[in-house]
Copies of this chain bind each other. A is one copy, B any other.
Amino acid sequence: MARKRHEDALATREQLLDAAERVFRRRGVGHTSLAEVADEAGVTRGAIYWHFKDKADLFQALVQRVEMPINAAMEEMSRASAADPLGAVRSLAVHALQGLAGCRRTQAVFDVVFLRCEYTEELAPVRARQLEDRKDCLRRCEAAFEQAIAKRQLPADTDARVAAQGLYAFVTGLMRTWVETPGRFDLGAVAPPLVDVFIAGLKTDPPRRAPAPRKPAAKRVRRPQAA
């Protein structure tokens, strides 16, 4: 094939990512040869090796295509959490779930990420990035919960960290179970009430911080509340 213009090359790149999405989903990342991806995209392996270093690089690019909107939503939460922290967290969780339910590409990528790939050494960079994203999300949620405590939206001795870990696990668990069997329930519909279950539970019976260890005759120290 002949040389193309720059924009055509970018289109080829997108086609490769689209093709990889489909093939990875069908056959799994590890079981997919780059030849299959090339076939699906209507090119040869040469094109893949031109645009990407190897399969891991291709996969990473694939994931990054859908990460942006979620990160934007997290920024939004951090901004909105000054006024109504609990509402901001709720909004983020619901938005993330409905974003998955409503976007085909996100569904495909999450399907691959959750079910069709092995996190071994060759995908270490992808995995490291995921864990970094998770850490960031947990940090933000924990901060929001701390603000919620300060604003008396949550009990004073709520363990914000554990609460954040719980919410994260809940949301990602819903994502995974839904991706496993998309037909079984309407994620977009159940997301708001289910997130509300967790929020309501936090209000009435949250995980409590371990009380300050009371040694005999040691004075009790109140931890300063973050503002």
Residue of B nearest to A203 (CB): B204
In-complex Cβ contact of A173 among B27, B102, B174, B190 (8 A): B174
Instruction: Please give me the residue from chain B that is nearest to A117 by CB atom.
Output: B118
Set of chain B residues within 8 Å of A99, measured between Cβ atoms? 225-227
Q: For the complex, is A202 an interface residue (Cβ under 8 Å from B)? A: yes
Q: How far is the CB of A192 from chain B (nearest CB, A)?
A: 9
The answer to the question of A87 belonging to the interface, with a C-beta cut-off of 8 Å to chain B, is no
Q: Is A85 an interface residue (CB 8 A)?
A: no
Taking the closest CB of chain B, its distance from the CB of A64, in whole angstroms, is 12
With contacts A120-B116, A165-B190 taken as known, whether A98 is within 8 angstroms of B200 at the C-beta atoms is no
Find residues 119-136 in chain A having any chain B CB closer than 8 Å to their own CB: 119-122, 131, 134
Q: Are B226 and A69 in contact (CB under 8 A)?
A: yes
CB pair B200–A185 under 8 Å, yes or no, is no
**With A and B bound together, what is the CA distance between A58 and B42 in angstroms?**
36
Q: Which of A163, A177, A206 has the most CB of B within 10 A?
A: A177
- One of B31, B178, B199 near A118 (C-beta < 8 A): B31
Q: Nearest Cβ in chain B — how far from A63, in angstroms?
A: 12
Tell me the residues in window 95-152 of chain A with beta carbons closer than 8 Å to chain B beta carbons: 98-100, 102-103, 106, 115-122, 131, 134
Quick one: CB contact mask for A175-201 with B, threshold 8 Å, 1 for yes? 011101100010011100110111111
Q: Which 5 A-B pairs have the closest CB atoms?
A: A173-B173, A69-B227, A201-B201, A28-B118, A30-B30
* 12 additional contacts (CB under 8 A) given A28-B119, A102-B225, A204-B204: A29-B118, A30-B30, A30-B118, A68-B227, A69-B226, A69-B227, A102-B226, A166-B197, A168-B173, A171-B173, A197-B205, A200-B201
